[in-house]
Amino acid sequence: MEMTASDTRASGVRAIRARHVLVVAASLALAALAFERVWLIQGLPLWWDETWTGAIASTPDWRAFWREAYLDVNAPLYYVVMRLWTSVFGVSDIALRAPSLIAVAAAAAVPLIIRIDGLTREARLTWAVLVFAWWGGFATLLDARCYALVLALSALQCALFIRLLARPTRARAWAWAAVGACAVLTHYYAAFIGLTQGLIYLGLHRGRALRTWPAALAFTPAFAWLAHHGGRLAQYVSPSVDWHAAVSWDTALPLATATVGPEAAAFLAAVVLVLGLGWLTPRLLGAAAADEASAPTRDLALAAISGLAALALALLSGVATPSLTGRYLFAYAPAVLLGVVLCARASKRAHLVYLALIGLYLAVLPPPAQIKAVLTARSAYGFQAASELLMAGRARDVVFVWDHSAAPVIASSSLARVGGFFFARAGADIAVRPLRVDPRHDPNTQILAAANGRKPGIIWVYNRRLPSAARAFAPAIDRVDPRWSCVSYGDGVRGTIACLPRPGT
Last residue of a domain, one of 375, 390, 407: 375
Q: Is there a domain that residue 4 lies in?
A: no
Q: How many CA atoms lie within 13 A of 257 on its CB side?
A: 17
Same domain, yes or no: 66 and 132:
yes
Does position 14 have pLDDT exceeding 70, yes or no? no
Q: Which helix (H) or strand (E) holds 87?
A: helix 77-89
Does residue 387 share a domain with residue 353? no
Q: How many Å apart are CA 381 and CA 425, to the nearest integer? A: 19
Indicate if the pLDDT at residue 252 is higher than 70: yes
Q: 356 and 226, same structural domain?
A: yes
- Whether the CB-CB separation of 177 and 357 falls below 8 Å is answered with no
Is 12 among the domain residues? no
DSSP state of 497: E
Query: Tell me, what's the pLDDT at 355?
Result: 85
Task: Assign 285 a pLDDT band (cuts: 50, 70, 90).
Answer: very low
Per-residue pLDDT at 243: 60
Reference 462, options 415, 404, 413; nearest CA is 404
pLDDT, mean over the chain: 86
Distance CA 297, CA 221 (A): 33
**Nearest alpha-carbon partner for 21 in 419, 387, 392, 351:** 351
356 and 405 fall within a common domain: no
Say if 1 falls within a structural domain.
no
Final residue of a domain: which of 359, 375, 391?
375
Is there a single domain that holds both residue 334 and residue 388?
A: no
Number of domains in the chain: 2
**Residue where one domain finishes, among candidates 375, 396, 430:** 375
Tell me the C-alpha distance between 101 and 456, whole Å.
Answer: 38
CA angle 427, 428, 433 (to 5 degrees): 125
Edge-to-edge strand ranges of the sheet holding 494-501: 431-434, 397-403, 456-463, 494-501, 484-490
CA dihedral 436→441→442→443, nearest 10 degrees, is: 0
In a domain, 48, yes or no: yes
Sign of CA dihedral 305, 306, 311, 313: positive
Q: Which residue has the higher pLDDT, 100 or 343?
A: 100
Same-domain pairing of 300 and 437: no
> Is 485 a domain residue?
yes
Question: Does some domain include residue 415?
Answer: yes
Contact 75, 184 (CB under 8 A): yes
Please check whether residue 11 lies inside any domain of the structure: no
- Are residues 317 and 444 both part of a single domain? no
In-domain check, residue 104: yes
pTM, whole model, 2 decimals?
0.90
Residues 368 and 476 in one domain: no
Residue 289 CB contacts under 8 Å (≥ 6 apart), including other chains: none
Please tell me whether residues 330 and 412 are part of one structural domain: no
Tell me which of 12-21, 339-348, 432-441 is least confident: 12-21
In this structure, the answer to whether residues 361 and 450 fall within a common structural domain is no
pLDDT tens across 409-442, in order? 899 999 999 999 999 999 999 999 999 998 888 9
User: Which one, of 60, 103, 59, lies nearest residue 78 by Cα?
Assistant: 103
- Across the range 181-201, mean pLDDT stands at 96
Domain span at residue 476 reads 380-501
Confidence at 293, pLDDT banded by 50, 70, 90:
very low
State the pLDDT confidence band at 251, using cuts at 50, 70 and 90. Answer: confident
Answer yes or no: do 300 and 275 share one domain.
yes
If asked whether residues 413 and 427 sit together in one domain, one would say yes
